[in-house]
Amino acid sequence: MKSLFHHAALVGKYQAVSSGSGGALSRQTLHRIGEFLMGLGLEVSLEAYTATNMNLNDYNRLNVAGIGKNCDVCIVVGGDGTMLGIARQLARYGVPLIGINQGRLGFMTDIPLLNFETILRPMLEGHFTEERRSLIQARVWRDGHCFFSAEAMNDVVVNRGGTAGMVELRVEVDGHFVANQRADGLIISTPTGATAYSLSAGGPLMHPSIPGWVLVPIAPHTLSNRPIVLANTSEVAIEIIAGRDASANFDMQSLASLWHGDRIVVTRSEHEARFLHPEGWSYFDTLRQKLYWNAE
């Protein structure tokens, strides 16, 4: 059967490339996948950083904007970190993503590398389940001016500095005062990020279809401070009240040295990431497999 798609972008986990045999294996893997896609009649382009860092010169190179303009599907080979980075950038272009797992957990990259051909072929012919996931828009304000802005798929995290001592944060939701929290930090997590840092800090698992966020304190001084699930239509503001060298992290984008009085304002992004899964895919199957439920 003919592929539903015409032009595929190929993104690899180039950060793992080294002078050892592992890097060579990664290059061979990407080349093998590229050959498979071309064999199905697709035009194939490599994401520019992937091509440069893996020294692959057999394909056309495209930056993120070029992928958004020219490609109708993106194949991501790596782990959740690789998928997270490119999905956040491509969300504004509406390009759907398919993940082939070459990482450890793979909550978002659910096709095993070992037999990717068997699963990927019917997906490219149109037999897939589509899922959309919302993003967070975060802005940092100082003295009435926004000096930093970023989007996040997983979470926004405000942390204390490296020195001992807690940070004190004033939390507001839709302009209403919630609490002053003294803790090691605070996480605002999407359902996608619920299996990441939020889970480690005691937050709940959230089904990706839930239009919500979870507010999770990190090691709070007051033990009655518990995770709160909020609607993702809310505006959450976090103000730095006290604490030394507080910092904020937006997925893999960090901002250090926040000052007292700085405000991190979080709203829902206008963009959504599109993921394609094998037909019959279930979020609960993913949880069961990755978290080893029912394992003996």
The residues annotated with a catalytic role in the active site are 80
* Contact between residue 218 and residue 184 where contact means Cβ atoms under 8 Å apart: yes
User: Can you name the residues that pair with 228 across neighbouring β-strands?
Assistant: 215
C-alpha 264, offset from chain centre: 19
Residue 42: count other Cβ atoms within 10 Å of its Cβ. 22
The total of other beta-carbon atoms located within 10 Å of residue 225's CB is 18
Count of beta carbons in the 10 Å neighbourhood of residue 249 = 21
Instruction: Please name the amino acid found at residue 129.
Output: T
Bridge partners of residue 140, in order along the sequence? 148, 264
Q: Are 109 and 277 a contacting pair, CB within 8 Å?
A: no
Contact 258, 237 (CB under 8 A): no
